[in-house]
Amino acid sequence: MQQYFVKGRADELITITDKDTLKHMFSVMRLVDGDEVVLVFEDGIKRLARVVSSSQHQLEMVQELKDDVELPVQVTIASGFPKGDKLEFVAQKATELGASGIWAYPADWSVVKWDGKKLVKKVEKLEKIAQGAAEQSKRNRVPEIQLFEKKTDFLAQLVTFDKVFIAYEESAKAGELAALARELQIVETGQKILFIFGPEGGISPKEIEAFEQAGGISVGLGPRILRTETAPLYALSAVSYAVEMNISN
């Protein structure tokens, strides 16, 4: 059954106004009166809804659904600005894997330089990608997209998290394999976790120092060196296994 995210609150009768949602519902899927879909409003609750007027784009709420597929912890990934369309790839796949936030910051070794106007357009594009991925994967919420123009603004946000992990290539090279597994064993439901990743060139020593001073923990992501677009997916998969799939918990 198709799922759509709708802004606002869930009234008994609603009218769909978002152009992209309208197009998909009534032009692509060709919904008619009596067809049912799942709508998710800003409260994150899924509701079964029925089309009562395809011409007026109106639906009525049928019932609330108990389905909740969100991770029991809130995981935000923060990548140094990468080249090309890698951030778009990460946004789609990280959404499917359960990320609650997808951030990016201007790293010391980022090749690309995005100014304010470029960032606004980038955010809009990433938000559409994340929403589409959230609908496809039946999420209850669409991840927050935030791109920082200044690294100082990004650093100021680190104190808002319960745990901050720095995916550091040199930790992996040094054979550090236990820190992430150890820390994930003691995470608690509802905690906010941040993973920081570097761009293609990695995280600079100066950045490592700043992140660690802010409370970050440097961790290796297995024995192999991962690309900047692969590392966030590894981390999210590890979190899912630790807090959702591990039967010993």
pLDDT per residue of the chain (249 residues) written in tens, 0 to 9:
999 999 988 899 999 999 999 999 999 999 999 999 999 999 999 999 999 999 999 999 999 999 999 999 999 999 999 999 999 999 999 999 999 999 999 999 999 989 889 999 999 999 999 999 999 999 999 999 999 999 999 999 999 999 999 998 776 555 566 889 899 999 999 999 999 999 998 999 999 999 999 999 999 888 888 999 999 999 999 999 999 986 554
Looking at every residue in the chain, the average pLDDT score rounds to 93
CB-based contacts of 132: which residues, under 8 Å, 6+ apart? 92
pLDDT of residue 167: 93
pLDDT of residue 172: 57
Q: What angle do CA 26, 66, 14 make, to 5 degrees?
A: 35
- Give the pair of three-digit tokens for residue 66: 């108990």
CB-based contacts of 104: which residues, under 8 Å, 6+ apart? 78, 79, 80, 81, 82, 87, 146, 147, 148
pLDDT of residue 173: 57
First to last CA, the chain: 32
pLDDT of residue 169: 76
DSSP code at position 50: E
pLDDT of residue 168: 87
pLDDT of residue 171: 62
Tokens 């519902």 correspond to: 25
- The β-bridge partners of 65 are 46
Fold held by 74-245: Alpha/beta knot (3.40.1280)
Q: What's this model's pTM, rounded to 2 decimal places? A: 0.91
pLDDT of residue 177: 66
pLDDT of residue 248: 52
- Phi/psi at 69 (nearest 5 deg)? -110, 15
Name the CATH superfamily, with its identifier, for domain 3-65: Hypothetical PUA domain-like; domain 1 (2.40.240.20)
In the chain, which segments carry CATH 2.40.240.20? 3-65
pLDDT of residue 116: 87
pLDDT of residue 138: 96
In the chain, which segments carry CATH 3.40.1280.10? 74-245
pLDDT of residue 175: 56
Closest CA to 240 of 54, 72, 89: 72
